[in-house]
Amino acid sequence: MGKIIFYEDRNFGGRSYECSSDCADMHSYFSRCNSIRVESGCWVLYERPNYMGYQYVLTRGEYPDYQRWMGYNDSIRSCRMFPDYQSSSYRMRIYEREGFGGQMMEFMDDCPNVYDRFHYRDIHSCNVMDGYWTFYEQPNYRGRQYFMRPGEYRRFSDWGANCATIGSFRRVMDF
């Protein structure tokens, strides 16, 4: 069971809302979100209701302002909790073309710069075999985020991206 607390103001001030399950529309609980405390679980927060818009992947810890979770603004309107990943194994294959075509590379650890390791800036499809991962649009774990759970992603739109550019990715750990 996960637990997350949203606060309207920075540094855990103002009105708060405690959540322990998925919530498709949080607008009635708070008008803005400027700090968050994750007490347990892995959470994916969304900028818009119904799990749409920018995604933010958060694990246990304190986030005193929205820049700490790489937020673009103070808008959080929906969230999902994912159960703890029970294995130490992480494995993912990325591909240069849609439908698992072209060059493939398998990863079991974090990658701070996709171009340095894969020699392509774009990932058009991917197969997550083990673990949860976060894709980032820019190198060094910056920019727009995409939460990846085990499964097949035949094209970049399957993970919610508007383009295939991925600059870095890492395993979701410590929850």
pLDDT in tens, 23-67: 999 999 999 999 999 999 899 999 999 999 999 999 999 999 999
Let me know if the fold of 3-82 is the same as that of 91-171.
yes
- How far apart CA 83 and CA 161 sit, in angstroms, is 23
CATH number for the region 91-171 comes to 2.60.20.10
Query: What residue spans define the domains of the chain?
Result: 3-82, 91-171
Predicted pLDDT at 175: 53
Model confidence pLDDT, tens digit, residues 98-124: 999 999 999 999 999 999 998 888 999
Predicted pLDDT at 83: 75
* Fold assignment, 3-82: Gamma-B Crystallin; domain 1 (2.60.20)
Question: What is the percentage of the chain residues whose pLDDT exceeds 70?
Answer: 99
User: DSSP per residue over 30-46, as a string?
Assistant: -S---EEEEEESEEEEE
